[in-house]
Chains A and B, each alone.
Chain A
């Protein structure tokens, strides 16, 4: 199972929003190449193995466009996210 799923259709764009890129402590998101049907460019994961499943990107996404699976196997142990 993948650790992170981007629900691209819900995203309102890394250019206009970009909150996921900002809150990822590992800086794992970049702009994807493909526009969704609403005309927004969603993010894409660069290195899932480095993801700590801290859930920051999921919790902060204002459009519920990211799902983090804390129970997914492999990679570093689940990290605790923090807000401050």
Chain B
């Protein structure tokens, strides 16, 4: 018998003994990265509200994390989280959900939360597909990749999420792949300490729905693909677009200070109260 307990197990609900994911799914790598960031920052789960939508990635915090978790409707976690943050501005409000949930059906919520610079930390799991519903093409499916709904290769251009959210106005944006769990942990820590909207895009493997239809292969093959195709943003800025086709630009896209919405509201409420006395 083995009595060893994983050091991050203390952040999980005791009755949840298994993850909900398929073997080799990248969601588990991000799960550890999130929990390790919380441990290294010495935060308590009671300081958090986790909000997720619908999809495989939405199962990362719920039911696993021993914290307040809101498992909401498809596409709407950012809208729910906006309400939570305005009502409970002292909490860390973290959204964990998929590329389909956050950039397809929920795309408008995401760009407007970035524009408002509301203090949410969004961990967006980008596996380039609708995993949970059987592997349909998503707005993030790389052009030319085969899925169950694009058997001859997707003809569409895909969203480049990280720069899109920079343009929308976020204070912090980073992108890493599941081949970079240590950098990912650091980025989540920065996102959590940032006063403002923070997006951490995680390019992740779905070996089951994405791997099979695209013929990119299993978990290890996709991880190898991430490793050989990742380019640091500092280097990418000096390359021309043609050279970057098919590459995954990783690193920090933006890290700036600007007024955050929930503290602006708090300030306004205080000044109105003082004015009344």
User: What is A's interface to B at a CB cutoff of 8 Å?
Assistant: 5, 7-8, 10, 12-13, 16-19, 21-22, 38, 40, 59-65, 67, 81-84
Query: B230 near A: Cβ within 8 Å?
Result: yes
Secondary structure at the A interface, as helix, strand, loop or mixed, is: loop
For residue A40, which residue of chain B has the nearest CB? Answer: B23
**Stretch among B3-11, B83-91, B252-260 lining the A interface:** B3-11
- Residues from chain A with Cβ under 8 Å of B230 in the complex: 84
B226-252 to A contact mask, C-beta < 8 Å, 1/0: 010010000000000000000000000
- Residues from chain A with Cβ under 8 Å of B18 in the complex: 10, 38, 63
Which interface residue of A17, A21, A65 has the most chain B CB atoms within 10 A?
A17
Interface residues of B in 1-40 (CB under 8 A from A): 2, 4-9, 17-19, 21-29, 31-32, 36
Q: Indicate which residue in A7, A12, A18, A83 contacts B2 across the interface (CB closer than 8 Å).
A: A7
**Stretch among B72-80, B96-104, B176-184 lining the A interface:** B176-184
CB distance from B12 to the nearest CB of A (A): 8
Secondary structure at the B interface, as helix, strand, loop or mixed, is: loop
Contact status B19-A62, CB under 8 Å: yes
Q: Indicate which residue in B7, B19, B182, B207 contacts A63 across the interface (CB closer than 8 Å).
A: B19
Contact status A12-B182, CB under 8 Å: no
Interface residues of B in 31-90 (CB under 8 A from A): 31-32, 36
Contact status B8-A62, CB under 8 Å: no
